[in-house]
Structure 1
């Protein structure tokens, strides 16, 4: 599948939805920070730069795809400490470490904690751009998935208590008659509840419901 990057947005196919792309930079080296910012803006990314990790954390989360270019040695909160915080607070934001030092234990620790790339200064522009594109695509997938999960959870909350009971039994493989026996209601009533469940959850088949449950979304 060809990927297009236009005006700070990524579009996979004509007519497909696109998400704004934001790259955050946290690096106390002003020359490096400004060079990266210029390069990424030229490629159409929205860029936000910070000297310290705590200043970055004060910024609200973006709604679209994003990634973070993060230095290891920062004043105050270190890069690795910020990575640990973000793994909980912003799991859909991939991290690319950029640093002037590269020791094996630090690299291993960063990668095990989920970093998508580790670049040593000075690095080639193409290496940085390739890493950012991969990180943004990964973030986009995570954002889309989280939006889908949130939408399904909202639909689930719209079900009545009885409809949730019916749904639970459907997912356990109960037939309509068995659901009726379990809940003390008629099979006709079960069918009515089942129809409401399918409508409210916007499921076309039992497989759809099973898929939602399998992803932990209901």
Structure 2
């Protein structure tokens, strides 16, 4: 897990709200960055550390929902906490269905806000750790030869070495050699561990498409 101080981004056109949130977030030990509009936030390079976004639904350029849609795929590791007025509940429900972490109705207490941010940061930590693990798995997979990839696919499908040899028209001894290389290159401790790693890679690939 990253030891970097998490960012808490605030996008709200109300300067008094931005200033009060900035002070509160700083006192809690996080790094606040505030923006008066959605485009200013979009122009800011994506951080590679835990973060969350406090986002007002009503903004002068893009709406909060529009911004959420823009960054949903690219910044899945950054939970969004919507800040709303009491009349915005229907749109808040829409935001939740689109993947928002939570929404807070004004006025809200400092303790409620800080608790929500803390849980959002924990989710961001987990998402970043998950992404790092996937990157490591992908790097391991790229070291496999075409034949080793074929053997791995058949191994995780449940075939025995003899059956794999028949499928690929190679000897059982050759299958065992490829299988050993696959286990080493994928850093798999056991067959169930290899199956788990391949499953995660396939799931991530299907999600991206």
Q: Give the TM-score of the pair, scaled to structure 1.
A: 0.88
Asked whether 1:186 is paired with 2:171, we answer yes
> Which of 162, 169, 183 is 1:198 aligned to?
183
Give the Cα–Cα distance (whole angstroms) in 2 for the partners of residues 217 and 190 of structure 1.
27
1:7 match: none
- Please give the residue correspondences for 1:60-75 in structure 2 after superposition, counting only pairs within 5 Å: 60-75=45-60
Q: The residue matched to 1:39 in structure 2 has which SS?
A: helix
CA RMSD of aligned residues (A): 1.5
* Alpha-carbon offset, residue 132 of structure 1: 0.1
* Alpha-carbon offset, residue 104 of structure 1: 3.0
Structure 2 stretches of 5 or more lacking a match? none
Give the Cα–Cα distance (whole angstroms) in 1 for the partners of residues 184 and 190 of structure 2.
10
1:47 match: 32
- Please give the residue correspondences for 1:1-218 in structure 2 after superposition, counting only pairs within 5 Å: 18-215=3-200, 216=203
* Alpha-carbon offset, residue 28 of structure 1: 0.8
Contact 2:2 2:125 in 1 (8 A): no
Structure 1 stretches of 5 or more lacking a match? 1-15
Contact 1:99 1:121 in 2 (8 A): yes
1:5 match: none
Count of matched residue positions in the alignment of Structure 1 and Structure 2: 203
Contact 1:163 1:196 in 2 (8 A): yes
